[in-house]
Amino acid sequence: MAETITITSAGGVEVERELAGLGGRSLGYIYDWHIRVLISLAWFYLGILIITGSLDVENAFNVKEFSELTYWSIAVPLLALNILYHPVLEIVMNGRTPGKRMAGIRIVSKDGTTASAGAILLRNVFRLIDSLPAAYGIGIIVVLRSKQHLRIGDMAAGTVLIYEDKADRKRLDMVTQSDNDSGITATQRELVAELLGRWKELSRDKRQQFAKNLLEKCAQPVPAATQADELDMVLKQALENLLK
Q: Show which of 107, 128, 163 is a domain's final residue.
A: 163
Contact between residue 96 and residue 106 where contact means Cβ atoms under 8 Å apart: yes
What integer pLDDT is reported at residue 172 of this predicted model?
Answer: 56
Task: Tell me if 170 is assigned to some domain.
Answer: no
What integer pLDDT is reported at residue 223 of this predicted model?
Answer: 85
Does residue 133 have a cis peptide bond before it, meaning omega lies within 30 degrees of 0? yes
What integer pLDDT is reported at residue 173 of this predicted model?
Answer: 56
Please say whether the dihedral angle defined by the alpha carbons of residues 149, 153, 155 and 161, taken in this order, is positive or negative: negative
pLDDT digits (tens, 9 = 90+) for 136-162: 999 999 999 998 999 999 999 999 999
What integer pLDDT is reported at residue 103 of this predicted model?
Answer: 95
113 and 156 together in one domain: yes
Domain of residue 220, residue span: 180-242
User: In this structure, which amino acid lies at residue 192?
Assistant: V
CA distance 117 to 106: 14
209 and 235 together in one domain: yes
pLDDT digits (tens, 9 = 90+) for 53-81: 778 777 766 666 566 766 688 888 999 99
What integer pLDDT is reported at residue 12 of this predicted model?
Answer: 54
Number of domains in the chain: 2
Task: Tell me if 37 is assigned to some domain.
Answer: yes
Q: What is the DSSP string of 16-78?
A: EEEBP-HHHHHHHHHHHHHHHHHHHHHHHHHHHHHHHSS--HHHHTTSTTHHHHHIIIIIHHH
What integer pLDDT is reported at residue 57 of this predicted model?
Answer: 75
Residues of the chain falling short of pLDDT 70: 1-2, 7-15, 60-67, 69-71, 166-183, 186
CA distance 37 to 44: 10
Q: Which of 10, 17, 12 is nearest to 189 (CA)?
A: 10
CB-based contacts of 97, cutoff 8 Å, min separation 6: 28, 32, 85, 86, 89, 90
